[in-house]
């Protein structure tokens, strides 16, 4: 059976504030650029808090796509530290808008209040603005 949609649950929306690109190095797949997270926040029905650290090792490909490789630290309002990692692709559409798609994974303390995140299979859609990137993160049902 072919499906045209996937069941998802909105986990949270996260905004990462970013510094200007710190490093640009030409490499075989394209130009690698390091973008550091300087702060931000996330908010959802079951969890909220701040983005406290992270970096994105972007590769700007010759065709204009951006391969994304991110490690970020989230701190929930209860003080729990959660690692969020994700890879994905950003592509500029015919309309000029940037479309970002990623696959986040989480590491939260085992047995803690956010242990449920360790079993989540997630997808995210994102948009970029000057000095920030925002993602809507969904758990696959």
Give yes or no for a contact between 48 and 82, defined as CB atoms under 8 angstroms apart: no
pTM of the model: 0.93
Q: Which DSSP state fits 89?
A: E
Rounded to 10 degrees, the C-alpha dihedral 44/45/49/51 comes to -20
Q: Which residues pair with 57 in a beta bridge?
A: 34
Per-residue pLDDT of the chain (141 residues; tens, 9 = 90+): 577 888 999 999 999 999 999 878 888 989 999 999 999 999 999 999 999 999 999 999 999 999 999 999 999 999 999 999 999 999 988 888 889 999 999 999 999 999 999 999 999 999 999 999 999 999 998
Question: CATH number for the 8-140 domain, one of 3.40.50.300, 2.20.28.160, 2.40.160.20, 3.30.428.10?
Answer: 2.40.160.20
Residue spans per domain, the chain: 8-140
């Amino acid at each position: 059976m072919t499906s045209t949609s996937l069941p998802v649950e909105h986990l949270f929306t996260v905004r990462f504030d970013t510094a200007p690109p710190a490093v640009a190095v030409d490499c075989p797949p394209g130009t690698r650029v390091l973008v550091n997270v300087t702060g931000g926040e996330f908010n959802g029905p079951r969890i909220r808090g701040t983005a406290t650290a992270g970096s994105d090792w972007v590769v700007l490909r010759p065709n204009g796509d951006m391969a994304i490789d991110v490690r970020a630290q989230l701190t929930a309002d209860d003080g729990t530290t959660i690692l969020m990692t994700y890879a994905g692709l950003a592509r500029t559409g015919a309309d000029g808008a940037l479309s970002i798609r990623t696959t986040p994974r989480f590491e939260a303390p085992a047995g803690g209040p956010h242990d449920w995140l360790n079993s989540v299979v997630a997808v995210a859609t994102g948009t970029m603005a000057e000095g920030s990137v925002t993602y809507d993160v969904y758990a696959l049902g």
